Amino acid sequence: MFEALQPRPNDAIMELMQKCKADEREHKIDLGVGVYKDASGQTVILKSVKLAEEMWGREETTKTYVGTTGNQDYCADMLALMLGADHPAISEGRIGASQTAGGSGALRLGAELLKVVAPEATVWASTPTWANHIPLISEAGLRMGSYPYYNRETLGVDFEDMLDYLDKNAKRGDIVLLHGCCHNPTGADLSPEEWDRLAPFMLERGLFPYIDLAYFGLGRGMAEDTYGLRKMIEVHPEVLLAASCSKNFALYRERTGLIAAITKSAEKAQIAQSQFGAIQRKLISMPPDHGAAIVTRILRDENLRGIWESELDDMRERMRGLRQLLSEALDVQGGEAMSRAVKDQNGMFSTLPLSPAQAERLRSEHAIYMMNSGRMNIAGANASNIPRLAEAILDVL
Ligand code: LMR
């Protein structure tokens, strides 16, 4: 059976994670995989999560199945968190949702639903986008295309090019995949004004928004990071949303995600939800319980919620502080564009204008691990190694 089987390479992010783990140099700096690290380089379990787990451990009464669309309290709480509890789409029951196995499970479930309703549509993704977007969505059987997004010279968003390209290339009924905030891999987000323009632009051209919200709360703040999502829902009668609790609740391995279809009516929402359940059933049967149970516990308990909000603020502000420090350290001749970009960008990532050879030199000569694309996760740095990081970046340029 397995005679002809050939090994397959890991994806670049996973491969870099392994390379860094194997490097025994004590001064190594891991700016690879997108996990938050504290000042001592640890990815700790949040206190709010630990407390919720202790309570949940005492209160949990069963391990029976959660059902194909998972924990619906969790879905409701997550939607209220992102949209605001009094959002009309919530009060009108126009959202069909399912708990998923992480944000990746959500993206796949969403793609499978799109394959049912729009099998001929193209899903347009930004250039660049998160590497796993392409296999997750295209292997659901959907065609994918790319629109211009990040300019590797200005290190900002080429918004006019993006609009122009979509105008000329996307057809009515096509889908545009958008990073709701903290763009992965570039950290370069659309401004509120750009969301304000993009939403009606897409509506006029019959382009459907599929929003990936994996880092909300870690960019500028909850309201700011969900602005684009809420703008799209305000303008478009239908939106697809894939969200994750991996980063903002630091629940990475608990695989805690959400897929939600914002529809035109409560009836359609129920239909979309039944589709999510049926599709999830054939893919993985049902999502795991633990992460969603913990998130619900936190969001429903005033004390835990307060602790979580302040932990989220701390993570975000630490990253903003590191951005500021790195920006100052790069603000020398040759580093000006990077200095500006690193300060202005959001979330864990920035993509520096480095070649794969330069990224390799950072690894071999400086024990600094970032993606060959130049993507770095700022949370992997700390105040004391930032001067060395900046020097090394400027050295390999
Ligand atoms: C990343 O982009 O590094 C994270 O989202 C982790 C992953 O699964 O790729």
Q: Give the residue extent of every domain in the chain.
A: 12-45+304-396, 65-300
Residue with tokens 């020398």: 332
Ligand 1 atom closest to Cα of 11?
9
- Asked if pLDDT for residue 79 goes beyond 90, the answer is yes
Tokens of 76: 């409701």
Please give the Cα distance from 331 to 208 (Å, whole number). Answer: 40
Q: Exactly one of 121, 170, 214, 341 is catalytic; which is it?
A: 214
How high is the pLDDT of residue 145? 98
The whole model's pTM is what? 0.97
Residue with tokens 């001064």: 27
- Asked if pLDDT for residue 244 goes beyond 90, the answer is yes
Phi and psi of 33, rounded to 5°?
-60, 150
How high is the pLDDT of residue 299? 98
- Residue 33 Cα, ligand 1 centroid: separation in angstroms? 6
User: Are 349 and 375 within 8 A, CB to CB?
Assistant: yes
- Asked if pLDDT for residue 93 goes beyond 90, the answer is yes
Mutate to test the pocket of ligand 1, among 10, 13, 377 (most ligand atoms within 8 A of CB): 13
Q: Which residues of 64-75 are buried (b: 16+ CB within 10 A; e: fewer)?
A: eebbbbbbbbbb
Residue 106 Cβ contacting ligand 1 at under 6 Å: no
How high is the pLDDT of residue 98? 98
Q: Sorting pLDDT into bands at 50, 70 and 90, what band is 320?
A: very high
Residue 33 Cβ contacting ligand 1 at under 6 Å: yes
Region 248-264: what's the mean pLDDT?
A: 98
Helix (H) or strand (E) holding 100: strand 95-101
User: Are 209 and 170 within 8 A, CB to CB?
Assistant: no
- Asked if pLDDT for residue 9 goes beyond 90, the answer is no
Please give the Cα distance from 372 to 358 (Å, whole number). Answer: 8
Tokens of 317: 């502000």
Please give the Cα distance from 154 to 44 (Å, whole number). Answer: 35
Active site residue 131: no
Mean pLDDT (the chain, rounded): 97
Active site residue 214: yes
- Residue 342 Cα, ligand 1 centroid: separation in angstroms? 19
Q: What percent of the chain has pLDDT over 70?
A: 100
Q: Exactly one of 212, 231, 367, 379 is catalytic; which is it?
A: 212
- Asked if pLDDT for residue 316 goes beyond 90, the answer is yes
- Residue 344 Cα, ligand 1 centroid: separation in angstroms? 21
Closest C-alpha to ligand 1, atom 1:
34
Region 302-328: what's the mean pLDDT?
A: 98
When the candidates are 3.20.20.60, 3.90.1310.10, 2.170.120.20, 3.40.640.10, the CATH number that belongs to 65-300 is 3.40.640.10
User: Are 104 and 256 within 8 A, CB to CB?
Assistant: no
Region 78-107: what's the mean pLDDT?
A: 98
Residue 182 Cβ contacting ligand 1 at under 6 Å: no
Mutate to test the pocket of ligand 1, among 33, 246, 378 (most ligand atoms within 8 A of CB): 33
Residue with tokens 């239908």: 238
- Asked if pLDDT for residue 325 goes beyond 90, the answer is yes
Tokens of 164: 């122009």
Q: Which fold has domain 12-45+304-396?
A: Aspartate Aminotransferase, domain 1 (3.90.1150)
- Asked if pLDDT for residue 195 goes beyond 90, the answer is yes
User: Are 180 and 197 within 8 A, CB to CB?
Assistant: no
Residue 349 Cβ contacting ligand 1 at under 6 Å: no
How high is the pLDDT of residue 10? 85
Closest C-alpha to ligand 1, atom 5:
34
Is 65-300 the same fold as 12-45+304-396?
A: no
How high is the pLDDT of residue 286? 97
